[in-house]
Structure 1
Protein backbone atom coordinates (compact mmCIF):
# COMPACT_ATOMS: atom_id res chain seq x y z
CA UNK A 1 0.00 0.00 0.00
CA UNK A 2 -0.49 2.65 -1.32
CA UNK A 3 -2.06 1.76 -4.63
CA UNK A 4 -1.95 5.03 -6.54
CA UNK A 5 -4.17 5.71 -9.57
CA UNK A 6 -3.42 8.38 -12.16
CA UNK A 7 -6.15 9.28 -14.64
CA UNK A 8 -4.91 11.41 -17.54
CA UNK A 9 -6.38 12.94 -20.69
CA UNK A 10 -5.78 10.98 -23.89
CA UNK A 11 -4.08 14.08 -25.37
CA UNK A 12 -1.23 13.55 -22.91
CA UNK A 13 -0.59 9.90 -23.77
CA UNK A 14 2.58 10.52 -25.78
CA UNK A 15 3.83 13.55 -23.87
CA UNK A 16 5.13 12.17 -20.56
CA UNK A 17 7.05 9.21 -19.20
CA UNK A 18 4.60 7.22 -17.08
CA UNK A 19 7.30 4.89 -15.77
CA UNK A 20 9.35 7.81 -14.44
CA UNK A 21 6.30 9.53 -12.95
CA UNK A 22 5.12 6.28 -11.34
CA UNK A 23 8.51 5.68 -9.74
CA UNK A 24 8.62 9.27 -8.50
CA UNK A 25 5.11 8.97 -7.00
CA UNK A 26 6.17 5.77 -5.26
CA UNK A 27 9.20 7.58 -3.84
CA UNK A 28 6.90 10.26 -2.40
CA UNK A 29 4.95 7.51 -0.63
CA UNK A 30 8.18 6.26 0.90
CA UNK A 31 9.22 9.79 1.94
CA UNK A 32 5.92 11.12 3.30
CA UNK A 33 4.23 7.94 4.51
CA UNK A 34 7.21 5.74 5.44
CA UNK A 35 5.78 3.17 3.01
CA UNK A 36 7.91 0.20 2.07
CA UNK A 37 9.20 0.73 -1.49
CA UNK A 38 8.08 -2.72 -2.65
CA UNK A 39 4.55 -2.04 -1.32
CA UNK A 40 3.94 0.95 -3.61
CA UNK A 41 2.01 0.48 -6.83
CA UNK A 42 0.94 3.06 -9.38
CA UNK A 43 -1.42 2.49 -12.28
CA UNK A 44 -2.21 4.85 -15.13
CA UNK A 45 -5.56 5.09 -16.88
CA UNK A 46 -5.97 7.03 -20.09
CA UNK A 47 -9.27 8.91 -20.22
CA UNK A 48 -10.58 9.39 -23.74
CA UNK A 49 -13.26 11.91 -22.88
CA UNK A 50 -13.51 14.54 -20.17
CA UNK A 51 -15.76 17.48 -19.38
CA UNK A 52 -14.38 20.70 -17.91
CA UNK A 53 -16.59 23.53 -16.63
CA UNK A 54 -19.71 22.10 -18.22
CA UNK A 55 -18.21 21.78 -21.69
CA UNK A 56 -16.18 19.25 -23.60
CA UNK A 57 -12.52 19.48 -22.75
CA UNK A 58 -11.34 20.95 -26.06
CA UNK A 59 -7.97 22.54 -25.40
CA UNK A 60 -7.92 21.33 -21.81
CA UNK A 61 -6.10 18.39 -20.29
CA UNK A 62 -6.72 16.70 -16.97
CA UNK A 63 -4.53 14.67 -14.61
CA UNK A 64 -6.14 13.38 -11.43
CA UNK A 65 -4.19 11.38 -8.83
CA UNK A 66 -5.95 9.23 -6.24
CA UNK A 67 -3.63 8.34 -3.38
CA UNK A 68 -5.41 5.98 -0.94
CA UNK A 69 -3.51 5.38 2.30
CA UNK A 70 -4.05 3.56 5.57
CA UNK A 71 -5.32 5.83 8.36
CA UNK A 72 -3.09 7.36 10.98
CA UNK A 73 -1.19 10.05 9.09
CA UNK A 74 -1.47 13.61 10.33
CA UNK A 75 -3.33 16.23 8.30
CA UNK A 76 0.03 17.98 7.84
CA UNK A 77 1.61 14.84 6.37
CA UNK A 78 -1.31 14.41 3.96
CA UNK A 79 -1.17 18.07 2.93
CA UNK A 80 2.59 17.84 2.42
CA UNK A 81 2.13 14.76 0.27
CA UNK A 82 -0.58 16.50 -1.79
CA UNK A 83 1.64 19.53 -2.42
CA UNK A 84 4.57 17.28 -3.35
CA UNK A 85 2.40 15.35 -5.81
CA UNK A 86 1.24 18.57 -7.49
CA UNK A 87 4.84 19.78 -7.77
CA UNK A 88 5.85 16.43 -9.25
CA UNK A 89 3.07 16.60 -11.83
CA UNK A 90 4.27 20.07 -12.85
CA UNK A 91 7.77 18.65 -13.38
CA UNK A 92 6.66 15.65 -15.44
CA UNK A 93 3.76 16.99 -17.49
CA UNK A 94 4.19 19.51 -20.29
CA UNK A 95 1.74 22.30 -20.88
CA UNK A 96 1.41 22.67 -24.63
CA UNK A 97 0.89 26.13 -26.14
CA UNK A 98 -2.80 26.95 -26.42
CA UNK A 99 -3.81 24.23 -23.94
CA UNK A 100 -4.66 24.32 -20.26
CA UNK A 101 -3.59 21.58 -17.83
CA UNK A 102 -5.73 20.87 -14.75
CA UNK A 103 -4.10 18.73 -12.04
CA UNK A 104 -5.48 17.47 -8.74
CA UNK A 105 -4.59 14.97 -6.05
CA UNK A 106 -6.82 13.27 -3.50
CA UNK A 107 -5.06 11.72 -0.51
CA UNK A 108 -7.69 9.72 1.32
CA UNK A 109 -7.79 7.22 4.19
CA UNK A 110 -9.07 3.80 3.25
CA UNK A 111 -11.07 1.53 5.53
CA UNK A 112 -8.30 -0.66 6.93
CA UNK A 113 -10.84 -3.03 8.48
CA UNK A 114 -12.21 -4.08 5.10
CA UNK A 115 -9.26 -3.57 2.74
CA UNK A 116 -7.68 -6.80 1.53
CA UNK A 117 -4.96 -7.55 -0.99
CA UNK A 118 -2.81 -10.46 -2.06
CA UNK A 119 0.11 -11.28 -4.30
CA UNK A 120 0.17 -14.52 -6.27
CA UNK A 121 3.37 -16.02 -7.62
CA UNK A 122 3.35 -18.30 -10.63
Structure 2
Protein backbone atom coordinates (compact mmCIF):
# COMPACT_ATOMS: atom_id res chain seq x y z
CA UNK A 1 0.00 0.00 0.00
CA UNK A 2 -0.35 2.45 -1.74
CA UNK A 3 -0.91 0.60 -5.01
CA UNK A 4 -0.62 2.93 -8.00
CA UNK A 5 -1.29 2.23 -11.66
CA UNK A 6 -0.54 4.79 -14.36
CA UNK A 7 -1.92 4.25 -17.85
CA UNK A 8 -0.59 6.53 -20.57
CA UNK A 9 -0.93 6.72 -24.33
CA UNK A 10 2.03 5.64 -26.44
CA UNK A 11 2.48 9.11 -27.94
CA UNK A 12 3.82 10.24 -24.53
CA UNK A 13 6.51 7.54 -24.33
CA UNK A 14 9.39 9.86 -25.21
CA UNK A 15 8.25 12.89 -23.17
CA UNK A 16 6.69 11.47 -19.99
CA UNK A 17 9.41 11.09 -17.32
CA UNK A 18 7.81 8.08 -15.67
CA UNK A 19 10.53 7.36 -13.12
CA UNK A 20 10.73 11.01 -12.07
CA UNK A 21 6.94 11.12 -11.80
CA UNK A 22 6.82 7.95 -9.70
CA UNK A 23 9.48 9.17 -7.26
CA UNK A 24 7.75 12.53 -6.86
CA UNK A 25 4.38 10.78 -6.56
CA UNK A 26 5.64 8.49 -3.80
CA UNK A 27 6.92 11.43 -1.75
CA UNK A 28 3.67 13.33 -2.35
CA UNK A 29 1.50 10.36 -1.38
CA UNK A 30 3.52 9.78 1.78
CA UNK A 31 3.10 13.40 2.81
CA UNK A 32 -0.58 13.88 2.00
CA UNK A 33 -1.93 10.42 2.85
CA UNK A 34 0.38 9.70 5.80
CA UNK A 35 1.90 6.64 4.11
CA UNK A 36 5.47 5.36 4.09
CA UNK A 37 7.39 5.99 0.86
CA UNK A 38 8.83 2.47 1.04
CA UNK A 39 5.30 1.06 0.76
CA UNK A 40 4.46 2.91 -2.47
CA UNK A 41 4.41 0.81 -5.63
CA UNK A 42 3.77 2.22 -9.10
CA UNK A 43 3.14 0.29 -12.30
CA UNK A 44 3.07 1.93 -15.73
CA UNK A 45 1.01 0.65 -18.63
CA UNK A 46 1.62 2.05 -22.08
CA UNK A 47 -1.56 2.06 -24.14
CA UNK A 48 -0.90 1.47 -27.82
CA UNK A 49 -4.28 2.78 -28.82
CA UNK A 50 -6.58 5.33 -27.20
CA UNK A 51 -9.55 7.26 -28.48
CA UNK A 52 -10.31 10.64 -26.91
CA UNK A 53 -13.52 12.55 -27.65
CA UNK A 54 -14.20 12.51 -31.41
CA UNK A 55 -11.02 10.51 -32.11
CA UNK A 56 -9.14 13.38 -33.74
CA UNK A 57 -5.36 13.06 -33.81
CA UNK A 58 -3.31 15.12 -31.40
CA UNK A 59 -4.61 13.86 -28.07
CA UNK A 60 -2.88 11.93 -25.33
CA UNK A 61 -4.24 10.24 -22.23
CA UNK A 62 -2.84 9.68 -18.74
CA UNK A 63 -4.88 8.15 -15.93
CA UNK A 64 -3.62 7.49 -12.39
CA UNK A 65 -5.43 4.95 -10.23
CA UNK A 66 -4.23 5.27 -6.62
CA UNK A 67 -5.50 2.78 -4.02
CA UNK A 68 -4.94 3.31 -0.29
CA UNK A 69 -5.79 1.34 2.81
CA UNK A 70 -9.10 2.44 4.34
CA UNK A 71 -9.20 5.24 6.87
CA UNK A 72 -8.42 8.41 4.88
CA UNK A 73 -11.08 11.06 4.89
CA UNK A 74 -12.74 12.20 1.68
CA UNK A 75 -10.96 15.54 2.16
CA UNK A 76 -7.54 13.81 2.24
CA UNK A 77 -8.39 11.76 -0.86
CA UNK A 78 -9.57 14.91 -2.69
CA UNK A 79 -6.40 16.79 -1.67
CA UNK A 80 -4.26 13.90 -2.90
CA UNK A 81 -6.19 13.70 -6.16
CA UNK A 82 -5.70 17.42 -6.86
CA UNK A 83 -1.99 17.25 -5.97
CA UNK A 84 -1.43 14.20 -8.21
CA UNK A 85 -3.21 15.95 -11.09
CA UNK A 86 -0.91 18.97 -10.68
CA UNK A 87 2.12 16.65 -10.62
CA UNK A 88 0.88 14.95 -13.79
CA UNK A 89 0.65 18.32 -15.52
CA UNK A 90 4.27 18.99 -14.67
CA UNK A 91 5.60 15.61 -15.80
CA UNK A 92 3.55 15.33 -19.01
CA UNK A 93 4.27 18.84 -20.27
CA UNK A 94 8.06 18.43 -20.17
CA UNK A 95 9.49 17.96 -23.63
CA UNK A 96 6.29 18.91 -25.43
CA UNK A 97 6.32 21.79 -27.85
CA UNK A 98 3.32 23.78 -29.04
CA UNK A 99 2.54 21.12 -31.66
CA UNK A 100 2.58 18.31 -29.07
CA UNK A 101 -0.52 16.37 -28.08
CA UNK A 102 -3.26 17.76 -25.85
CA UNK A 103 -2.93 15.69 -22.66
CA UNK A 104 -6.14 14.52 -21.03
CA UNK A 105 -5.11 13.71 -17.44
CA UNK A 106 -7.21 12.17 -14.69
CA UNK A 107 -6.77 10.73 -11.20
CA UNK A 108 -8.90 8.38 -9.12
CA UNK A 109 -8.07 7.83 -5.44
CA UNK A 110 -9.92 4.97 -3.80
CA UNK A 111 -9.60 2.42 -1.01
CA UNK A 112 -8.22 -1.09 -1.16
CA UNK A 113 -10.76 -3.73 -0.20
CA UNK A 114 -10.87 -5.57 3.11
CA UNK A 115 -9.35 -8.63 1.41
CA UNK A 116 -6.12 -6.80 0.40
CA UNK A 117 -3.01 -8.56 1.69
CA UNK A 118 0.69 -8.17 0.97
CA UNK A 119 3.95 -9.99 1.59
CA UNK A 120 7.45 -8.58 1.34
CA UNK A 121 10.40 -10.96 1.44
CA UNK A 122 11.69 -14.21 0.06
Q: TM-score, structure 2 length as denominator?
A: 0.90
Moved over 6 A (4+): none
In structure 2, runs of 5+ residues without a counterpart are none
Q: How well do the aligned residues superpose, as a CA RMSD in angstroms?
A: 1.4
Change (3 A) 1:57 1:96: farther
Give CA-to-partner distance per residue, 1:26-66, whole Å, 9 cap, x none: 1111011111111011111100011112x436210000000
The yes-or-no answer on 1:117 pairing with 2:101 is no
Secondary structure of the equivalent of 2:119? coil
Give CA-to-partner distance per residue, 1:69-93, whole Å, 9 cap, x none: 1111111111100010011011111
The yes-or-no answer on 1:91 pairing with 2:90 is yes
Moved more, 44-53 or 55-64: 55-64
**Which residue number corresponds to residue 4 of structure 2?**
4
**Which residue number corresponds to residue 81 of structure 1?**
80
The yes-or-no answer on 1:59 pairing with 2:61 is no
- For this pair of structures, how many residues does the alignment match? 119
**Which residue number corresponds to residue 30 of structure 1?**
30
Secondary structure of the equivalent of 1:89? helix
**Alignment check: 8 A CA contact 1:50 1:57 kept:** no
The yes-or-no answer on 1:106 pairing with 2:108 is yes
1:96 is displaced (CA, Å) by 4.1
Q: TM-score, structure 1 length as denominator?
A: 0.90
In structure 1, runs of 5+ residues without a counterpart are none
**Which residue number corresponds to residue 13 of structure 2?**
13
